[in-house]
Amino acid sequence: MIKDQVFDYYDALGQDAEKNAETFNLYFPAGYLLTELDEETKADFIAENPIANRAFLIALAIGYQLSKQSRPVLLSARHSSLVGTFAKEKLGTLKQEQLFLALLNTQLDVIGWEVVFVGTLTEVAASPREIFQRALQANAYAMIIAHNHPSGNLHPSVQDKQFTKRLYALGQSLNLPLLDAFIVTKDGYWSMQENGQLFTGDFD
């Protein structure tokens, strides 16, 4: 909540967080849009704590502008076939195993597609922590992973299943769901969601 964030802001500056949070509430009562403050009120608010409050309003303005920006949509993830075909085109012919992360918005559009790990010819040593860190930094609503099998074998290995199971469980606990996991080769793709392995928890 915004009030908790305000408290943390002043506390991080080593100031009286409770007192400054009360002042904030006087200028920004519940339900009042933070961007609607007029210039005179801004000046009064800054005068209460010149350095900290000026920095607060600058950060607020930057955050507001960033919130209005939208990241370009790469493709829709509403149907697994769309993502599977896209992943096959991007990964299918790679000679080295790589793991890609697709970042999704609330409309289930892919707004980010990035490589997170590069492995050997036979495996990827991936870290769930790194994957979730990237997704959280991008403020993603959900995510999908995809990796290639240069061997041409479309079926998930035991390690693939264990890793996906771990990611799926973490995603549920962090409210950042893993919606699908793909394995691709030059000839096709395997979707764990399409094959009933993801939402049922049947990774075996």
Distance CA 105, CA 112 (A): 9
- Assign 50 to helix, strand or coil: helix
Number of H helices, E strands in the chain: 7, 6
Q: Mind listing the pLDDT tens digit for each residue in 44-66?
A: 989 999 998 888 888 877 766 66
Per-residue pLDDT of the chain (204 residues; tens, 9 = 90+): 567 778 888 888 888 889 988 888 888 775 455 656 778 888 898 999 999 888 888 887 776 666 555 678 888 999 999 999 999 999 999 999 999 999 999 999 999 999 999 886 556 677 888 899 889 888 899 999 999 999 999 999 988 998 999 999 999 988 899 999 999 999 999 999 999 887 655 555
Q: What per-residue string of b and e applies to 173-200 under the rule 16 or more CB within 10 Å gives b?
A: eeebbbbbbbbbbeeebbbbbeeebbee
pTM, to two decimals: 0.64
Enumerate the domain spans of the chain. Answer: 2-68, 75-191
CATH architecture of 75-191: 3-Layer(aba) Sandwich (3.40)
Q: Any idea which residue has 């608010």 for tokens?
A: 45
Q: Is 20 exposed, middle or buried (0-12, 13-18, 19+ CB in 10 A)?
A: buried
Distance CA 159, CA 147 (A): 12
Distance CA 132, CA 139 (A): 10
Half-sphere exposure (Cβ direction) of 96: Cα atoms closer than 13 Å: 8
Q: Which residues pair with 110 in a beta bridge?
A: 75, 104
Distance CA 72, CA 185 (A): 27
- Assign 98 to helix, strand or coil: strand
